[in-house]
A and B are shown apart, each in its own frame.
Chain A
Amino acid sequence: GESVGLHLPTLSVQEGDNSIINCAYSNSASDYFIWYKQESGKGPQFIIDIRSNMDKRQGQRVTVLLNKTVKHLSLQIAATQPGDSAVYFCAEILYGGATNKLIFGTGTLLAVQP
């Protein structure tokens, strides 16, 4: 496969542990946030989203927390598995009148040790 990115922040966890991936977003006016997972050789895959009127949302084994005061997002993965190894991106939707754009963060490489 291809490496998604070099020199990414890396989070190394043991299989079965919980993982927390953090992201600082750029625009206080952003209203919608998404976490994506990108495995080697593949495009980003939607994990979970959250709107700015919420501070927490849960999915299957994943939880997203939003702190608008400090413009911070986190993704929590419970009972991390080897298949969770990937690069994780947060993205915000910046509203620009009639057009909206998806702005991605720099990504974090999650390495799950068996």
Chain B
Amino acid sequence: KAGVTQTPRYLIKTRGQQVTLSCSPISGHRSVSWYQQTPGQGLQFLFEYFSETQRNKGNFPGRFSGRQFSNSRSEMNVSTLELGDSALYLCASSLVQGPYEQYFGPGTRLTVT
């Protein structure tokens, strides 16, 4: 069974731009969670989608948003990029809602200049 895939793997954007990241979960998984990983803050939970609905949200500003499609694929959008948004963005999928038995993708490395 294929693992979690994320595209693109690397991205360079300019401050003020917006960006969309994509995550394809493991087949059959209905939950997709997103995390931000930085050297300073570590791994932080952004939000979780299950059956196309946001079920849980971390403490990030409204510039960070997401959605999930009927095939469980998810996208994350960051608007008005700031230098501090440079990070590795990870998605994780699971059969069940919540942070249980999550399988992580390789991440998208976003650099904001």
Chain A residues at the B interface, C-beta cutoff of 8 Å: 2, 4-7, 32, 41-46, 89, 91, 93, 99-107
Q: With A and B bound together, what is the CA distance between A100 and B100 in angstroms?
A: 9
Which residues of the partner chain A approach B109 to less than 8 Å between Cβ atoms?
Answer: 2
B16 on interface, CB distance cutoff 8 Å: no
Interface centre among A32, A44, A93 (most CB of B within 10 A): A44
Which residues of the partner chain A approach B102 to less than 8 Å between Cβ atoms?
Answer: 46, 102
Which residues of the partner chain A approach B92 to less than 8 Å between Cβ atoms?
Answer: 43-44
Chain B residues at the A interface, C-beta cutoff of 8 Å: 4, 33, 37, 39, 42-45, 55-56, 58, 88, 90, 92, 98-107, 109
The one of B43, B58, B98 that contacts A44, using a Cβ cutoff of 8 Å? B43
Which residues of the partner chain B approach A2 to less than 8 Å between Cβ atoms?
Answer: 88, 109
Q: With A and B bound together, what is the CA distance between A5 and B38 in angstroms?
A: 7
Cβ contact within 8 Å between B42 and A105: yes
A99-B56, A101-B56, A101-B58 are contacts. A43–B90 as well, Cβ < 8 Å? yes
Cβ contact within 8 Å between B99 and A44: no
A43-B104, A46-B101, A100-B98 are contacts. A89–B43 as well, Cβ < 8 Å? yes
6 pairs, CB–CB < 8 Å, chain A vs chain B = A2-B88, A5-B37, A43-B92, A93-B100, A99-B55, A104-B43
